[in-house]
Each structure stands twice: as structure tokens, then as C-alpha cells.
Amino acid sequence: MKHQRPLIGITCGEIVNKVEPWSPTTFGQSRTYVESIINAGGAPLLLPLTTHRVVLEQLIDMLDGLYLAGGNDLDPSLYHQTPYKTDETYSSLRDTTEITLLERALARRIPILGVCRGMQLMNVHFGGSLYQDIPHDVPNALDHNASTKLKSLVDLSHTLRLQPGSRIAQLLETEKIGANAHHHQAVRTLGAGLWAVAWAADGIIEALEMPEYPFLIGVQSHPESLASVEPKWARLFEAFVASAIRGPFKSP
């Protein structure tokens, strides 16, 4: 029997067909998330959105790792704020799905990686809060949507400073690395048990981790798209998949 790759669940987003609005919503995710796991030695599985807890628990129990992907904003009510914009749309279905998946993954102690929205979800789950809109909340901040405006996933708009000795600094084998910038929200106050381990030049938190958990890392940028221009980012996914091969981990 051939060696099986660890199964990594990737959370999906809701895709609305604006040309044919009568058609059902599609659940999907960018191919870059899938490719980052395949290239790191894992087997990706896209996870549907549903409020059916038994289904979600069954799916998580199949997985060796959970990958919380990027996407739309979290509902500010999750971190006890009122939305700034009345025309902003949120996905309660996605929020509920991902919170359930995260709870179950934590209970099983399987490796967890969060990107952009995924990192923000981690932080909110542990009681932290977000800047709803960086230009509004942090007037002197850098442009954290610079790469989006350039329509480039491989743009290295920001140079991140990594905390010496942190898990991510050890994995990437550096204390400084280039990153793209595709977000208008960011971590404001840290959730319980989480440590900030990377920052942009303006002090915005760009990565977090939980030292007391076997593997829980969140990154605010989109490193799944950066291996071709900054190969060190590939080590993050390789370490995530390698951890999934070793897990799940026993509770202390």
C-alpha cells in the first residue's frame, strides 16, 4: 500500500453568481490554497459550508489538519462591535461553519493554520478584537491593501519583522521577510493564549501563534501565493503538513 498524504481540510467561501443571480450559491476557494498544500506534501479537501454540526464534526474527525482560508470580513458582532458600514455583507453561514470547525479541531488537537480572515477568526475565537478598517482605525498606517490595488498576488509590498525565537521565525529561518498586502482589517487586541510574532513597519500585527498548542499559526498576508518570489514561505506549509503527519496530539 502506498504511503498516504495527510488530509488537510480547507475552508470555503460563498461565491455568488452576479450574472445569473437565480443560480445557487457556490462553495469554493482559490486554487492557490489547494496548490500550497499539494506542494507541501498534503492532500487538500475543500470543506462545505453548513450549520449541520454532526456533518462538520464528522468531516473534522477525518482530517489531519485544518486550514482556515482567507475571504470576506467577519461579522463585527462576533467581537462585540457595531459595523462601520451599513452596506457591508457578512456570511453568518461561513462564520458559524468555521467557528464550529475550529472548535472541533482544537478539541482534537490537530494542526491549524489560518491565513488572512483565518488568522482573524482565530483571534476572535479566543476573545480578541479586530480593527474593522485600518485606514479608519489607524490613520497613519501603511496601505495594507497595496497588493490588491496592484492586482498582484506576488507583490512584496511589506517587509515583516518576525519575533526572534518564535515558531514562525524558526520555520522560515529568518527574522525579516517580504509579504503581500491584501487586507483592510487586522488584529487589534490579542485573544487569550495568543502571541503576536510578526509586524509590519507600522506596527500592525501580521502573524500570531499559540505556544501552548502543538501547531497553531495565523498569518495576515497570503503566503500561499508567494513561494515563487519568496521561497522561504513554502517552509510554513511544509511544517504545517509535517505536523499533520505527526498529529493529532494528546492533551497535556
- Kindly state the cell numbers that stand for 185: 482589517
Single out the catalytic residue among 125, 158, 183, 222: 222
CA angle, residues 92, 45, 219, in degrees to nearest 5: 65
User: Please, are residues 121 and 129 in contact by the beta-carbon 8 Å criterion?
Assistant: no
Give yes or no for a cis peptide into 111 (omega within 30° of 0): no
Q: Is 222 in the active site?
A: yes
**Which of 237, 249, 248 shows the shortest CA–CA distance to 171?**
237
User: Please, are residues 72 and 117 in contact by the beta-carbon 8 Å criterion?
Assistant: yes
Single out the catalytic residue among 116, 144, 158, 209: 116
> How far is the C-alpha of 65 from the C-alpha of 45, rounded, in Å?
10
Q: Is 136 in the active site?
A: no
Single out the catalytic residue among 98, 206, 209, 224: 224
Residues 6+ apart with CB under 8 A from 89: 72
> How far is the C-alpha of 61 from the C-alpha of 70, rounded, in Å?
22
Q: Is 224 in the active site?
A: yes
- Hey, which residues are catalytic here? 116, 222, 224
